[in-house]
Structure 1
Amino acid sequence: MLLFAAVTTLRPNIGVLEYSDHRQITMADLPGLIEGAHMNIGMGHSFLKHVERTKLLLLVADIQGFQLGPQYPYRSCLDTVVLLNKELELYRDDLLDKPAMLVVNKMDVAEAQFKYDEVKDKLRYLADVVGDYPEELRPERVLDFTEVMAISADTDPIGVEKLKHRIREVLDFHAALKQKDVETSVIATLRAQMAPKGPQML
């Protein structure tokens, strides 16, 4: 299963990506991952529990940033990603070991490309910028994004299709790595079991 963590609506959705060869990938859209989710604020734990079963984290951040409501602080695109990272870490830090991708959305809005050019390197190398955040917002471990993509989900069907195929490639790559690790472990176990025991006659 795949996590699609956007912050635009407050209802979870399950969807399926379908490919021309009939491959299907299930996606869980968990937009309730807001600041304080680890303390069960908003949809909190009811959303975060779904993250545990995912094979890939796909975070989606608005290039214009995000503000939950007038009483909450505005968070830039970079702030949003750092805070999602922090919420995952506070809930269960082993979630940060999962493969992760980042999509910066709404690239069709005014000045989006300018804003993205300013922030793209920071998004790729979060470890270099989280030190600038106050301790209560700063994650101790950062997500290592396999890929950072900028698209407009509403107006860029080519970008969406590219994202769809990149998700599949990343999932398949990590599945192959996991399979190789399993095979290596089995071989090592068999060798240990077959090794001679006790003194040997020469």
Structure 2
Amino acid sequence: MFVDKAKIYVKGGDGGDGLVAFRREKYVPEGGPGGGDGGDGGDVIFRVDEGLRTLMDFRYQKHFKAERGEKGRNKSQHGANADDMVVRVPPGTVVIDDDSQEILADLTRHGQEVVVAKGGRGGRGNIRFATPNNPAPEIAENGEEGEERWVVLELKVMADVGLVGFPSVGKSTLLSVVSAAQPKIGAYHFTTLTPNLGVVDVGDGRSFVMADLPGLIEGAHEGVGLGHEFLRHVERTRVIVHIIDMAATDGRDPFDDWLKINDELKLYNSKLEERPQIVVANKMDMPEAADHLVEFKNRLAALNQEIQILEMSAITKNGVQELLYKVADLLETIPEMPLVEDLIDLSERKVFRLETKDDEDYTIRRDNEDFVVESPSLERLIKRTNFSTEEAVMRFARILRKKGIDQALRERGAKDGQTVRIGDFEFEFVEKE
């Protein structure tokens, strides 16, 4: 089964908690703090593996969570960082954030990697909080939570040549003739529901990868029929081979078919209009095909279109070898890499973790009798604070005063005993003289 789309959940590992500990060596009566930092959580990394061809594995496993970092240790030892979780994906995979629909990465090369969920940083141990005024602190931080998100993976077939055309024009037959691929062939529309790939040996030492892509119909750019399920694969091909049923076996108009297919490609992605295209008149062994070809060329001439048309019969193999030579010659003149836009490479930057240097990154609002403080940095601080010790509570209170939140609450009318919420954390406002 060919699977070319999947939705999965990824989560970086949580950071390990920092440790509260003290040195207890013999003859060192006041050894001071010795609690180490927690280790960092593992990242979730997508890595391209050219041995994969589909997203089948993601049908059965949809959750990927990296390990958390190790807790801090005694004697100021740092907890071990967790190993990264490496998830293999096939070349041609596009990674899309499910919430924002932003394209995060376009993975095309073997070994290419991208970090899709950063692991959390380890919490600091009490050795980090020692000061001249407090040489033996009983404070340590919790590890930071790893980033999490739902992502959509879309596979766009990586092929040198893409066969396009209306259903039942002979695309699958051609692929079966020129390669060892065995696509399903039938006398009905949409016999091909998924892309089929085949390696084509030209016979003169050259070869290329050809993809038989599902048939197009009008409105495909809007999702009609197989729509986008087909068109996204066309974007990867270096050369488009446009197959036309010149025998008009279904009563269709070959010239009209040619116009409509090109319109669908252009409407889906305007850059496809610039992609090198070879037009092939197939089924030339059929009655009336020659007459239709003459009419086709006359209508092209009326539009001042000068396009070379190769005549072929995939069934009898007449003209097939000439087509292969033509394709191989054309491929030698264009870039080897797929013609895709440069997309974001997340491995080069940390885009997920919110960082701020603004000490006033908060807003305050009323919720009935309660006050709600909204601040991403304070919510992260709360998650990292272990409120089981008085020192940690006092440190948190000092940070609120330093940010001016106490004064802001007071100006908003906060009184003794009123509830203040920051994220999921609630506390009572206490007015000090």
Query: What's the TM-score, normalizing by structure 1?
Result: 0.68
For 2:207, the equivalent position in structure 1 comes to: 24
2:211 is the counterpart of 1:34: no
User: How many residues were matched structurally?
Assistant: 153
Question: What is the deviation of 1:107?
Answer: 0.6
Q: Find 1:171's aligned residue among 331, 350, 354.
A: 331
**TM-superposed deviation, 1:64:** 2.8
Which of the pair is proportionally richer in helix? 1
For the pair 1:104 / 2:265, whether they are aligned, the reply is no
Matches within 5 A, 1:8-19: 8=168, 9-10=189-190, 11=192, 12-19=195-202
User: Which secondary structure state, in structure 2, belongs to the residue aligned with residue 173 of structure 1?
Assistant: coil
Q: Which has the larger radius of gyration?
A: 2
Residue of structure 2 equivalent to 1:56: 239
Q: Give the secondary structure class of the aligned counterpart of 2:333.
A: helix
Structure 2 residue aligned with 1:46: 229
Name 1:152's counterpart in structure 2. Answer: 313
Please give the secondary structure, in 2, of the residue aligned with 1:103: strand
Aligned partner of 2:295 among 104, 111, 118:
118
Paired residues for 1:85-104 under 5 Å:
85-104=262-281
SS at match of 2:321: helix
Cα deviation for residue 126 of structure 1 reads: 7.9
* Identical positions, percent: 36
- Tell me how far apart the structure 2 counterparts of residues 14 and 98 of structure 1 sit (CA, whole Å): 20
Structure-2 change in CA distance of 1:167 and 1:33 (3 Å): same
Unpaired runs of 5+ in structure 2? 1-159, 169-188, 337-433
SS for the counterpart of 2:290 is: helix
CA distance in 2, matches of 1:13, 1:126: 36
Structure 1 CA distance for aligned equivalents of residues 329 and 243 of structure 2: 18
State the TM-score, normalizing by the size of structure 2. Answer: 0.33
Please give the per-residue CA displacement for 1:105-142, whole angstroms capped at 9, x wherever unaligned.
1011112112211212434x58448xxxxxxxxxxxxx
The aligned amino acid for 2:297 is K
What is the alpha-carbon distance in structure 2 between the residues aligned to residue 20 and residue 166 of structure 1?
13
In structure 2, how many angstroms separate the alpha carbons of the residues matched to 1:127 and 1:3?
26
Once the two structures are TM-superposed, the CA of residue 24 in structure 1 deviates from its matched residue by: 2.2
- Which runs of 5 or more structure 1 residues have no equivalent in the other structure? 68-73, 130-143, 177-202
Higher relative contact order (CA 8 A, sep 6+): 1
In structure 1, what residue type is equivalent to 2:311? A
Give the CA RMSD over aligned residues. Answer: 2.3
C-alpha displacement of 1:32: 2.1
The one-letter amino acid of 1:59's match is H
Matched residues in 2 for 1:107 and 1:75: separation?
A: 15
Residue 83 (structure 1) shift: 0.3
Distance of 1:82 and 1:51 partners within structure 2: 17
Amino acid paired to 2:332: D
